Protein backbone atom coordinates (compact mmCIF):
# COMPACT_ATOMS: atom_id res chain seq x y z
CA UNK A 1 0.00 0.00 0.00
CA UNK A 2 1.07 3.54 -0.68
CA UNK A 3 -0.23 6.47 1.39
CA UNK A 4 0.26 10.17 0.70
CA UNK A 5 1.18 12.38 3.64
CA UNK A 6 0.86 16.11 2.90
CA UNK A 7 2.59 18.73 5.02
CA UNK A 8 2.46 22.52 5.06
CA UNK A 9 6.23 22.82 5.07
CA UNK A 10 9.36 22.06 3.03
CA UNK A 11 12.01 19.40 3.43
CA UNK A 12 14.24 20.32 6.38
CA UNK A 13 11.36 21.98 8.23
CA UNK A 14 9.64 20.39 11.22
CA UNK A 15 6.42 19.04 9.64
CA UNK A 16 8.25 17.44 6.71
CA UNK A 17 10.86 15.88 9.00
CA UNK A 18 7.98 14.51 11.07
CA UNK A 19 6.35 12.97 7.98
CA UNK A 20 9.66 11.45 6.91
CA UNK A 21 10.27 9.82 10.31
CA UNK A 22 6.67 8.64 10.41
CA UNK A 23 7.13 7.04 6.98
CA UNK A 24 10.34 5.28 8.07
CA UNK A 25 8.72 3.84 11.21
CA UNK A 26 5.63 2.63 9.34
CA UNK A 27 7.78 1.04 6.64
CA UNK A 28 9.74 -0.87 9.22
CA UNK A 29 6.74 -1.93 11.29
CA UNK A 30 4.90 -3.20 8.21
CA UNK A 31 7.95 -4.99 6.76
CA UNK A 32 7.81 -2.72 3.74
CA UNK A 33 4.10 -3.29 3.12
CA UNK A 34 3.09 0.31 3.81
CA UNK A 35 4.92 3.06 2.00
CA UNK A 36 4.08 6.53 3.24
CA UNK A 37 5.14 9.32 0.87
CA UNK A 38 5.72 12.73 2.48
CA UNK A 39 4.65 15.68 0.32
CA UNK A 40 6.14 19.13 0.58
CA UNK A 41 3.97 22.23 0.78
CA UNK A 42 2.86 23.79 -2.49
CA UNK A 43 2.64 20.90 -4.94
CA UNK A 44 -0.98 20.20 -4.01
CA UNK A 45 -2.18 23.76 -3.52
CA UNK A 46 -2.53 26.03 -0.52
CA UNK A 47 -2.84 24.93 3.11
CA UNK A 48 -6.64 25.20 2.81
CA UNK A 49 -6.68 23.12 -0.43
CA UNK A 50 -4.73 20.41 1.40
CA UNK A 51 -7.39 20.20 4.10
CA UNK A 52 -10.00 19.61 1.37
CA UNK A 53 -7.89 16.89 -0.24
CA UNK A 54 -7.71 15.12 3.10
CA UNK A 55 -11.46 15.38 3.64
CA UNK A 56 -12.11 13.96 0.18
CA UNK A 57 -9.68 11.09 0.77
CA UNK A 58 -7.41 12.22 -2.08
CA UNK A 59 -4.59 12.00 0.44
CA UNK A 60 -4.59 9.64 3.42
CA UNK A 61 -2.57 11.67 5.92
CA UNK A 62 -1.92 15.35 6.52
CA UNK A 63 -0.29 17.66 8.99
CA UNK A 64 -2.67 20.56 9.31
CA UNK A 65 -2.57 23.69 11.42
CA UNK A 66 -5.83 24.65 13.13
CA UNK A 67 -5.28 28.13 11.68
CA UNK A 68 -6.31 26.70 8.33
CA UNK A 69 -9.31 24.62 9.46
CA UNK A 70 -10.99 27.43 11.38
CA UNK A 71 -13.71 27.88 8.78
CA UNK A 72 -14.42 24.12 8.73
CA UNK A 73 -14.28 23.33 12.45
CA UNK A 74 -14.72 26.62 14.27
CA UNK A 75 -13.96 25.04 17.65
CA UNK A 76 -10.45 24.16 16.41
CA UNK A 77 -9.65 27.84 16.77
CA UNK A 78 -9.00 27.27 20.47
CA UNK A 79 -5.31 27.24 19.45
CA UNK A 80 -5.65 30.87 18.32
CA UNK A 81 -6.05 31.99 21.93
CA UNK A 82 -2.84 33.65 23.06
CA UNK A 83 -1.45 33.25 26.59
CA UNK A 84 -3.67 30.19 27.19
CA UNK A 85 -1.23 27.26 27.16
CA UNK A 86 1.58 27.01 29.76
CA UNK A 87 4.64 29.26 29.36
CA UNK A 88 6.70 26.12 28.95
CA UNK A 89 6.98 23.82 25.96
CA UNK A 90 7.25 20.55 27.94
CA UNK A 91 4.11 21.34 29.88
CA UNK A 92 2.31 22.47 26.74
CA UNK A 93 3.11 19.14 25.09
CA UNK A 94 1.97 17.33 28.22
CA UNK A 95 -1.41 19.09 27.98
CA UNK A 96 -1.67 18.35 24.24
CA UNK A 97 -0.93 14.65 24.86
CA UNK A 98 -3.35 14.12 27.70
CA UNK A 99 -6.15 16.64 27.25
CA UNK A 100 -9.64 15.20 27.12
CA UNK A 101 -10.95 18.52 25.80
CA UNK A 102 -8.72 18.14 22.75
CA UNK A 103 -8.28 14.40 22.24
CA UNK A 104 -11.95 13.52 22.87
CA UNK A 105 -14.16 16.57 22.49
CA UNK A 106 -12.38 18.49 19.74
CA UNK A 107 -11.32 15.33 17.93
CA UNK A 108 -14.98 14.28 17.79
CA UNK A 109 -15.91 17.52 16.04
CA UNK A 110 -13.18 17.05 13.45
CA UNK A 111 -14.37 13.49 12.80
CA UNK A 112 -17.76 14.86 11.80
CA UNK A 113 -16.06 16.47 8.79
CA UNK A 114 -14.02 13.37 7.87
CA UNK A 115 -10.78 14.45 9.59
CA UNK A 116 -9.36 12.27 12.38
CA UNK A 117 -6.74 14.10 14.47
CA UNK A 118 -4.31 11.44 15.71
CA UNK A 119 -2.16 13.80 17.73
CA UNK A 120 -1.72 17.45 18.62
CA UNK A 121 1.87 18.60 18.94
CA UNK A 122 3.85 21.78 19.31
CA UNK A 123 6.25 23.27 16.77
CA UNK A 124 7.47 25.69 19.41
CA UNK A 125 6.61 29.09 20.83
CA UNK A 126 5.55 31.71 18.30
CA UNK A 127 7.33 35.04 18.02
CA UNK A 128 6.54 38.27 16.25
CA UNK A 129 8.55 39.81 13.46
CA UNK A 130 7.96 43.31 12.17
CA UNK A 131 9.22 46.13 10.05
CA UNK A 132 9.02 48.14 13.30
CA UNK A 133 9.73 47.08 16.90
CA UNK A 134 6.79 45.34 18.64
CA UNK A 135 7.06 45.77 22.39
CA UNK A 136 3.77 47.22 23.62
CA UNK A 137 0.17 46.89 22.41
CA UNK A 138 0.49 50.48 21.13
CA UNK A 139 3.08 49.27 18.64
CA UNK A 140 0.31 47.18 17.03
CA UNK A 141 -1.87 50.22 16.40
CA UNK A 142 -2.75 50.09 12.68
CA UNK A 143 -0.12 47.37 12.14
CA UNK A 144 -0.88 45.12 9.15
CA UNK A 145 -0.44 41.67 10.67
CA UNK A 146 -0.35 38.60 8.45
CA UNK A 147 -2.33 35.74 9.95
CA UNK A 148 -3.48 32.30 8.92
CA UNK A 149 -7.10 31.93 7.73
CA UNK A 150 -8.78 31.84 11.13
CA UNK A 151 -11.19 34.50 12.31
CA UNK A 152 -10.15 34.17 15.92
CA UNK A 153 -6.47 34.71 15.17
CA UNK A 154 -7.59 37.93 13.50
CA UNK A 155 -9.66 38.88 16.49
CA UNK A 156 -6.70 38.31 18.80
CA UNK A 157 -4.68 40.84 16.83
CA UNK A 158 -7.58 43.29 16.60
CA UNK A 159 -7.60 43.22 20.41
CA UNK A 160 -4.10 44.74 20.24
CA UNK A 161 -5.24 47.33 17.66
CA UNK A 162 -3.70 45.62 14.62
CA UNK A 163 -5.23 45.05 11.21
CA UNK A 164 -5.10 41.31 10.45
CA UNK A 165 -4.53 40.15 6.86
CA UNK A 166 -5.07 36.43 6.22
CA UNK A 167 -2.58 34.97 3.72
CA UNK A 168 -1.09 31.63 2.71
CA UNK A 169 2.52 31.43 3.84
CA UNK A 170 3.45 30.84 0.21
CA UNK A 171 2.78 34.53 -0.40
CA UNK A 172 4.22 35.84 2.83
CA UNK A 173 7.87 36.54 1.93
CA UNK A 174 6.87 38.77 -0.98
CA UNK A 175 4.15 40.48 1.06
CA UNK A 176 6.69 41.34 3.78
CA UNK A 177 9.26 42.44 1.23
CA UNK A 178 6.83 44.72 -0.58
CA UNK A 179 5.35 46.02 2.65
CA UNK A 180 1.78 44.89 1.91
CA UNK A 181 1.94 43.47 5.43
CA UNK A 182 4.09 44.80 8.28
CA UNK A 183 4.69 41.63 10.24
CA UNK A 184 3.78 38.06 11.11
CA UNK A 185 3.95 35.38 13.81
CA UNK A 186 5.70 32.01 13.63
CA UNK A 187 8.08 29.74 15.54
CA UNK A 188 11.75 30.72 15.27
CA UNK A 189 12.77 27.78 13.06
CA UNK A 190 10.19 28.82 10.48
CA UNK A 191 11.10 32.51 10.56
CA UNK A 192 14.69 31.59 9.76
CA UNK A 193 14.10 28.75 7.33
CA UNK A 194 11.50 30.67 5.30
CA UNK A 195 13.90 33.67 5.36
CA UNK A 196 11.36 36.09 6.81
CA UNK A 197 14.18 37.59 8.87
CA UNK A 198 15.74 38.79 5.60
CA UNK A 199 12.79 41.11 5.01
CA UNK A 200 12.03 42.02 8.65
CA UNK A 201 14.23 44.24 10.80
CA UNK A 202 12.79 43.26 14.16
CA UNK A 203 11.93 40.10 16.00
CA UNK A 204 10.20 40.04 19.39
CA UNK A 205 10.58 36.97 21.57
CA UNK A 206 7.04 37.14 22.89
CA UNK A 207 6.20 33.47 23.44
CA UNK A 208 2.58 34.64 23.14
CA UNK A 209 1.37 31.26 21.93
CA UNK A 210 2.56 27.82 20.86
CA UNK A 211 2.29 26.72 17.24
CA UNK A 212 0.15 23.59 17.41
CA UNK A 213 0.10 21.14 14.51
CA UNK A 214 -2.22 18.17 14.13
CA UNK A 215 -1.35 14.84 12.57
CA UNK A 216 -4.56 13.85 10.82
CA UNK A 217 -5.97 10.98 8.78
CA UNK A 218 -9.04 10.81 6.56
CA UNK A 219 -11.70 9.43 8.92
CA UNK A 220 -13.25 6.94 6.54
CA UNK A 221 -9.85 5.59 5.61
CA UNK A 222 -8.83 5.36 9.27
CA UNK A 223 -12.01 3.55 10.31
CA UNK A 224 -11.62 1.02 7.50
CA UNK A 225 -8.03 0.09 8.33
CA UNK A 226 -7.40 -3.52 9.38
CA UNK A 227 -7.02 -3.74 13.15
CA UNK A 228 -3.39 -4.69 12.78
CA UNK A 229 -2.59 -1.70 10.57
CA UNK A 230 -4.54 0.69 12.80
CA UNK A 231 -2.49 -0.50 15.75
CA UNK A 232 0.70 0.16 13.79
CA UNK A 233 -0.48 3.70 13.06
CA UNK A 234 -1.34 4.28 16.71
CA UNK A 235 2.02 2.96 17.88
CA UNK A 236 3.80 5.14 15.36
CA UNK A 237 1.87 8.19 16.55
CA UNK A 238 3.01 7.46 20.13
CA UNK A 239 6.63 6.93 19.08
CA UNK A 240 6.55 10.20 17.17
CA UNK A 241 5.61 12.32 20.22
CA UNK A 242 9.10 12.63 21.75
CA UNK A 243 10.74 12.65 18.31
CA UNK A 244 8.63 15.60 17.15
CA UNK A 245 9.35 17.43 20.38
CA UNK A 246 13.07 17.03 19.91
CA UNK A 247 13.02 18.02 16.25
CA UNK A 248 11.30 21.34 16.99
CA UNK A 249 13.36 22.02 20.11
CA UNK A 250 16.68 21.57 18.32
CA UNK A 251 15.66 23.53 15.26
CA UNK A 252 14.21 26.44 17.23
CA UNK A 253 17.35 26.67 19.34
CA UNK A 254 19.84 26.43 16.48
CA UNK A 255 18.06 28.84 14.22
CA UNK A 256 17.71 31.50 16.91
CA UNK A 257 21.50 31.65 16.94
CA UNK A 258 21.51 31.87 13.14
CA UNK A 259 19.17 34.87 13.22
CA UNK A 260 21.19 36.60 15.91
CA UNK A 261 24.49 36.03 14.13
CA UNK A 262 23.37 36.85 10.60
CA UNK A 263 25.43 39.85 9.56
CA UNK A 264 24.17 40.10 6.01
CA UNK A 265 20.57 40.53 7.19
CA UNK A 266 20.74 41.87 10.75
CA UNK A 267 17.58 41.49 12.83
CA UNK A 268 17.16 43.20 16.16
CA UNK A 269 16.01 40.52 18.61
CA UNK A 270 14.13 41.84 21.63
CA UNK A 271 12.88 39.63 24.47
CA UNK A 272 9.73 40.83 26.22
CA UNK A 273 9.90 41.05 30.02
CA UNK A 274 7.16 39.38 32.07
CA UNK A 275 5.71 42.82 32.72
CA UNK A 276 5.60 43.60 29.02
CA UNK A 277 3.96 40.25 28.30
CA UNK A 278 1.35 41.01 30.95
CA UNK A 279 0.09 44.03 28.97
CA UNK A 280 -0.64 41.71 26.04
CA UNK A 281 -2.06 38.96 28.22
CA UNK A 282 -4.66 41.36 29.65
CA UNK A 283 -5.91 42.21 26.16
CA UNK A 284 -5.83 38.57 25.05
CA UNK A 285 -7.96 37.13 27.87
CA UNK A 286 -11.33 38.65 26.72
CA UNK A 287 -10.91 36.96 23.30
CA UNK A 288 -11.69 33.72 25.16
CA UNK A 289 -15.30 34.94 25.42
CA UNK A 290 -15.51 35.11 21.63
CA UNK A 291 -14.29 31.53 21.46
CA UNK A 292 -16.89 30.45 24.03
CA UNK A 293 -19.53 32.21 21.93
CA UNK A 294 -18.88 29.91 18.94
CA UNK A 295 -20.96 27.02 20.30
CA UNK A 296 -21.86 25.05 23.40
CA UNK A 297 -19.14 22.59 22.47
CA UNK A 298 -16.59 25.41 22.32
CA UNK A 299 -17.61 26.52 25.78
CA UNK A 300 -17.15 23.00 27.15
CA UNK A 301 -13.83 22.54 25.38
CA UNK A 302 -12.38 25.75 26.78
CA UNK A 303 -13.73 25.18 30.30
CA UNK A 304 -12.21 21.70 30.40
CA UNK A 305 -8.97 22.81 28.77
CA UNK A 306 -8.47 25.67 31.22
CA UNK A 307 -8.85 23.22 34.10
CA UNK A 308 -6.45 20.75 32.50
CA UNK A 309 -3.85 23.46 31.95
CA UNK A 310 -4.17 24.70 35.52
CA UNK A 311 -3.78 21.17 36.88
CA UNK A 312 -0.74 20.47 34.72
CA UNK A 313 0.96 23.70 35.80
CA UNK A 314 0.16 23.14 39.49
CA UNK A 315 1.49 19.58 39.47
CA UNK A 316 4.83 20.55 37.99
Contacts to ligand 6CS by CB under 6 A: 8-9, 47, 65, 123, 148, 169, 186-187, 190, 211
How far apart are alpha carbons 194 and 297 in whole angstroms?
Answer: 36
CA atoms within 13 A on the CB side of 45: 11
Return the sign of the alpha-carbon dihedral for residues 40, 41, 42, 46.
Answer: positive
Nearest approach, Cβ of residue 25 and ligand 6CS (Å): 22
Considering the complex, state which of residue 46 and residue 267 has its C-beta at the smaller distance from ligand 6CS: 46
Considering the complex, state which of residue 66 and residue 291 has its C-beta at the smaller distance from ligand 6CS: 66
Considering the complex, state which of residue 106 and residue 255 has its C-beta at the smaller distance from ligand 6CS: 255
Considering the complex, state which of residue 34 and residue 169 has its C-beta at the smaller distance from ligand 6CS: 169
Nearest approach, Cβ of residue 20 and ligand 6CS (Å): 15
Nearest approach, Cβ of residue 161 and ligand 6CS (Å): 22
- Cα 149 to Cα 54, 292, 300: the distances in Å are 17, 19, 24
Nearest approach, Cβ of residue 169 and ligand 6CS (Å): 4
Nearest to 295 by CA among 95, 130, 36, 74: 74
Nearest approach, Cβ of residue 186 and ligand 6CS (Å): 5
Nearest to 144 by CA among 181, 100, 92, 184: 181
Length of the chain: 316
Considering the complex, state which of residue 133 and residue 166 has its C-beta at the smaller distance from ligand 6CS: 166
Amino acid sequence: QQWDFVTEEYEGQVQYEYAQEFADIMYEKSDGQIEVTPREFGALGSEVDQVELLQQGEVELAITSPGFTGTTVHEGQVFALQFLFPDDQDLTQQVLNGSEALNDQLTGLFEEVNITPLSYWTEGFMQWTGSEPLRTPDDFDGFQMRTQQSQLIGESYKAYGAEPTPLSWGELYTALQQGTVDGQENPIFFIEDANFHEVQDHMTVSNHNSYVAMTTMNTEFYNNLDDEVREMVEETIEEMRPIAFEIQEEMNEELLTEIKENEEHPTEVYELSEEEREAFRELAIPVRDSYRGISEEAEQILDTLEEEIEETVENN
